[in-house]
Structure 1
Amino acid sequence: MNEKNNFDIVRLSLAFIVMLVHSAEVTRNADIRFLAHFLNSDFAVKGFFAISGFLIAKSYLRSKSLTSYFVKRAQRILPAYIFVIVMCFAIGMCLTTLPLMDFLKNKETLKYLVANFTFLNFIQPSLPGVFTDNPNQPMDGSLWTIKAELTLYVLLPFIVPLLKKSPLKVWGVIFVISCAWFFYFTAVYTGAKADTLAKQFIALSSYFFFGSLLAVHQPTFDRLKEITIVSLVLFLLFKNTNYAFIIEPVAFSSVVILFSTNLCKEIKISQYGDLSYGMYLYHWPIIQVLQHFGVFDTNAFLGLLMVIVLTLALAWLSWHLLESRFLKRAHHAQPSIVPSVARD
C-alpha cells in the first residue's frame, strides 16, 4: 500500500455521518429527520470496523512484541474513553433532577460508573434523573462499539497468523460465523436484547477481518477495485431484500478501504490532529445537553450547527491536550498505521 493515503479524511467523514444521523435520531426532531433518511450511520460504523481491521493488522505486524501491540491499543483508546465517562458523570451531577447527595448515593450512579469503566455500557447507559425529558436517556449511546472493538483487538493476534497461512479460507469461516450470528438474532431469535446481541463483535468480525485480510494478503488487496465494483453491484441488486447482510461485509469494507488507499489524490488533514475518535466519543453527550436546554426545539438547524462546532472543538482539544500525549512520537510519524475511529 502506498504510504500516501486518505484514512484521515475518510474516518473524519464517517464520524460526521454518525454525528449527523445521531443528531436526528437522538433528538427525534422532525426538521432534521431527513439526515437519518439520506445518511446511513450503520454503514459508517461498519466502515470504521473495516478500516480498523486493516490498520490494526498493519500495526500488529509492525509491533516488536505482543506487549507492544497491546500497549499501543491502550494508549490510543483509554485516555479519551476514560475522559468521556468522567465528562458524562460531571454532566450528570450538574443536570440531574435529584438532590446531589441522592444522585451520588443512588445505586444506578455506581452501576453506571462500574458498567462504563468496564466497557459494559449496555448494563447502565443512563444516570438517575438525567435527560429524563429527552427523547433518549443514554449519556453516550456511541460507546457500545468500544467493547466489540476491544474484543476484536484481542482476537487479532490469533487470527492474523492464520490469515497469512490460509487467507481466503480463514476469512471465509469468519464470514460464515458472522453472518449466521447476525441472521439468528435478527430473523430467528426475538427475545430480550435481540437487537443488541445482533450487533456484537461476532457480527462485526466479518468487516474487521476483511480489512485485516486486505492488510496481510497482497493478492486480495491488488484486486480491491474489482472486488469493490462487483460487491457494490450485488449489494445494490439485493439492497432491499433479506440477503443484503450477506453482501455488506465485502461491499462496505472494500469501498471504504478503496477510498482510503488508492482511489483519489491524498487529502492532507493530519496537521489538525486525529479528530475522528474524539468526534465519535463526544458528539452524543453534546447533543443530549443541547436537547436538554431546548436548543433543538427552538431551532433544529442552530442545534445542529452547535453540535458540529462544539464536537469539533472538543475533539481538537482532546487530541492536542490528552490523546496525543499518550502516543509516542514515532507512532505519529507513520500515517499508514494511524488508527481509525477504531483507533490504533
Structure 2
Amino acid sequence: MKRRAKPPRLSALAIGRDNHFNLIRFLAAVAVLVSHAWPLALGRGTVEPLKTALGYSLGELAVFVFFGLSGFFIAGSYDRQGSALSFVTARAARLLPGLAVSILIVALIMGPLVSRLDAGTYLSHPDMARFIVQNILLFKPQYTLPGVFTTNPYPTVEGSIWTLAHEVACYALILFVGLVGALSRRRVMAVLLALYLIAWVVAPYLGDLIHPRLLQTRLLSLPFVFGASCWIWRDYITLRWPFVVGLIVLTWAVHATVFAFPMLALAVTYTSLWAGYCKLDPLLMFNRVGDYSYGIYIYAMPLQGLVVWVWGDMTPALNIALALPLTLLCAVSSWHWIERPALTFAREGQRGSLITRRIAPRR
C-alpha cells in the first residue's frame, strides 16, 4: 500500500508565482468597496449587514486579509533582499507613486469640478494643499476637500487610505527586525514575538499613555505579525483545509472572549495563505492581467462618493454597480501606467547599484 504523500511545507509552496494572491487581494479590495457602499449611500453610522451578523464588516475582514498577507510577503521581501535600502526602495515604489497620482487626480481634477466653491477659491484654500501633502506623506491623513460632497449622506472624499500609515508602521517593524539581524534567527524571533504579544495585551490598559493611532496600529499589526511569523517558521508549517476549518470553529467558539480578535487574526491569515496556495489552474490565469488591488483600494471611495454626487439618493447595491466599473478602469490604468513602471524602475535601479558595487575597483 502506498503511503500518502505528506503535504508540502509552506517553504516549498512559497517559491515562484503560481498562486492566487493577486486574485485574493483583488477580491479583498472589491470587498472594501462593497462594505463602504452602505455608509456612502445611506449615511454615517449605517451598519453593513455582515457586521450585524459577525461583529466585523466585510471591509474590516478584507483589511485583516491584506495585513496578514502583507506580513508574510514583506518579511519574505526583506529576507530575500537582505538590504535595508533595497527594502525601503521597493516598499516606497509600491505605495507612493500610485497613491500620489490618485490624490492629485482627486484634489486637482475631481475636486474643482464638484466643489461648491468656485475654482479659484477652491484651489487657493489651505485645506486643499493640506489634503495633497498630508495624504501623500500619510501624515495625519485628511479625508475631506473644501466644498466637495458636502450634500452627500457621507461627505467624505477619502477613507480607505487611513490603513496605509499603519501598513508603513508594520514595514518599519520588519525593517527594525531585519537591521538587528533577527529575521533569520528563529530563537531570537521567538523571544521578540513573545515580547510583542505581551505588549499587545498590555497596551490597552495604559490609557492615555498610548496614542489612539498607536492603538489602531496595534490592532492591525496582529495579522501582519502572524503573517510574518508564518514566513519565519515556513519550514515547519503546512497548509491543510482541516486546519482552516478548525481555526474557523475555534474563532467562533471564543468570539465572546478576550481571545476573539487574536483567533480571528490567526484564522484569517492562515486561511488566506491556504487559499492562495490551493492551485486551481483556471484561476491562475488571473495573474496574467496584473495586480489591480491597490488601485481599487485607493480609488474606490472617491468614485463611490462621486456617483452619489452625480446621481443623488441611491441604494448600496446601485452605488456598487455604478462605482465598481469606474474604479476598475482607474485601477487598471494605475497598474499599467503608474504602479508597474515604478516597480520596474525600482528593481532596475537596485540591479544597477548591485552591478556597480560588484565591478567597482577596490581601494
TM-score by length of 1: 0.83
Provide the C-alpha distance between the structure 2 equivalents of 1:220 and 1:146, rounded to a whole number of angstroms. 31
Aligned position for 2:41: 27
1:107 CA displacement: 2.5
What is the aligned-residue RMSD (CA, Å)? 3.0
1:35 deviates by 6.3
Alignment of structure 1 residues 130-145 onto 2, 5 Å: 130-145=148-163
How far, CA to CA, are the matches of 2:183 and 2:52 in structure 1?
37
Q: Output one character per residue of 1:194-240: Cα deviation in whole Å (capped at 9) or x when no partner.
A: 5x55322x322221121111112134423676764443222101224
Task: Work out whether residues 11 and 276 of structure 1, in 8 Å CA contact, stay in contact via their aligned partners in 2.
Answer: yes
User: What does residue 68 of structure 2 align with?
Assistant: 50
Query: Within 2, Cα distance between the matches of 1:83 and 1:162?
Result: 36
1:304 matched to 2:316? The reply is no
1:99 to 118, 126, 135: 118
Q: How do residues 1-344 of structure 1 correspond to structure 2 at under 5 angstroms?
A: 1-2=12-13, 3=16, 4-28=18-42, 33-34=48-49, 40-63=58-81, 65-90=83-108, 91-122=110-141, 124-160=142-178, 161-165=181-185, 166=187, 167-181=189-203, 183-184=204-205, 194=212, 198-200=215-217, 202-222=218-238, 228-261=244-277, 263-266=278-281, 267-268=283-284, 269-295=286-312, 297-298=313-314, 300-328=316-344
Structure 1 gaps, min length 5: 333-344
Partners of 2:48 and 2:68 lie apart in 1 by: 28
Aligned-pair distance for 1:88?
1.5
Distance in 1 between residues matched to 2:32 and 2:147, nearest whole Å? 26
Contact 2:37/2:317, CA 8 A, preserved across alignment:
no
Letter of the structure 1 residue corresponding to residue 193 of structure 2 = W
Letter in 2 for 1:137: P
Aligned-partner SS, 2:19: coil
Q: Does the 8 A contact of 1:28 with 1:135 survive in 2?
A: yes
The share of aligned pairs that are identical, in percent, is: 26
**Structure-2 separation of matches of 1:324 and 1:225:** 34
Distance (whole Å) between structure 1 residues aligned to residue 82 and residue 192 of structure 2: 25
- Partner Cα distance (1:176, 1:251) in 2: 20
Amino acid at match of 2:287: S
Mapped contact 1:163–1:170 kept (Cα < 8 A): no
* Aligned-partner residue type, residue 301 of structure 1: A
- Deviations along 1:103-153, one digit per CA (max 9) or x if unpaired, are 22222222222321220244x321111111112222210001111111211
* CA shift in 2, pair 1:211/1:220, >3 Å: farther
Cα distance change, pair 249–301 in 1 and its aligned pair in 2 (3 A): closer
Q: Give distance in 1, aligned partners of 2:98 and 2:236.
A: 34
Using a 3 Å threshold, how does the CA distance of structure 1 residues 287 and 32 change in structure 2: closer, same or farther? farther
Asked if the contact 1:24–1:35 (Cα under 8 Å) also holds between the matched residues in 2, the reply is no
Deviations 1:160-204 (A, max 9, x none): 5435322433223223323443x449xx67x9x95x55322x322
1:47–1:220 distance in 2 versus 1, CA, 3 Å: farther
TM-score normalised by L of structure 2: 0.79
Residues 285-304 of structure 1 deviation map (CA, whole Å, 9 limit, x = unaligned): 01010111135x25653332
Taking the aligned partners of 1:252 and 1:184, their CA distance within structure 2 comes to 26
Give, as a single letter, the amino acid of the residue that structure 1 aligns with 2:97: P
Structure 2 residue aligned with 1:340? none
Per-residue deviation, 1:60: 1.2
1:164·1:216 contact (CA, 8 Å) conserved in 2?
yes
Q: Gapped runs of 5+ residues in structure 2?
A: 1-11, 349-363
